Amino acid sequence: MKVFRLAFLLAACLSATTVSAAPETCRLGADDQAWIDGALANWDYATATLLRLPPAELPQIVAVDAHCQANALPVSGQPIVWNGRLHAGEMQLPDGGKAPVGVVAFAGPDGTGPRDGFFVMSMPSIWREAGVASELGLETLMDGVLLHEMMHTRQFASLNPHLAALSRKYGLPDDINDDSLQRAFEGDADYVQAFRAETELLYAAAAAPDDAEARRLAREALAAMRARHARWFTGANAKWAPLDDVFLQMEGLGQWLIYKWYVDGPRRTYAPDVAERAVRRRKTQWSQDQGLGLMLVVDRLVPDWRARAFAPEPALAEELLALAAR
Q: Report CA torsion sign: 148, 40, 142, 122.
A: negative
In this predicted model, which residue has the larger pLDDT, 263 or 4?
263
Residue 247 and residue 181 in contact, taking contact as beta carbons nearer than 8 Å:
yes
Residue 8: pLDDT above 80?
no
pLDDT band at 264 (very low <50, low <70, confident <90, very high): very high
What are φ and ψ of residue 88, in 5° steps?
-120, 45
Cβ neighbours of 280 (radius 10 Å): 18
Residue 19 has pLDDT above 50, yes or no: no
105 phi/psi in degrees, rounded to 5: -155, 120
The angle formed by the CA atoms of residues 264, 212 and 229, to the nearest 5 degrees, is 85
pLDDT, residue 110, reads 66
Look at residue 22 in the predicted model and tell me its pLDDT: 45
**Cα(124)–Cα(141) distance, integer angstroms:** 10
Can you tell me whether residue 82 is helix, strand or coil? coil
Instruction: Tell me what pLDDT residue 5 has.
Output: 42
Q: Please spell the DSSP secondary structure of 75-137, one letter per residue.
A: -TTSPPPPEEEE-SSEEEPTTS-EEESSS-EEEES--SSSSS-EEEEE-HHHHHHTT---TT-
What's the pLDDT score for residue 7? 45
Task: Say how far residue 254 (Cα) sits from the centre of its chain.
Answer: 4
Check: CB of residue 60 under 8 Å from CB of residue 111. Answer: yes
As a whole number, the mean pLDDT across the chain is: 90
pTM over the 0.75 mark? yes
Q: Map out the domains of the chain as residue ranges.
A: 6-154, 177-325
What pLDDT shows up at residue 105? Answer: 96
Rounded Cα gap, residues 218 and 247, in angstroms: 19
For residues 127-150, average pLDDT: 94
Helix or strand or coil: residue 121?
strand
Question: Which tens digit of pLDDT belongs to each residue from 117-135?
Answer: 899 999 999 999 999 988 8
Query: Element (H or E) spanning 293, and its range?
Result: helix 286-301
Dihedral sign, CA of 303, 297, 10, 267? negative
CB 167 within 8 A of CB 1: yes
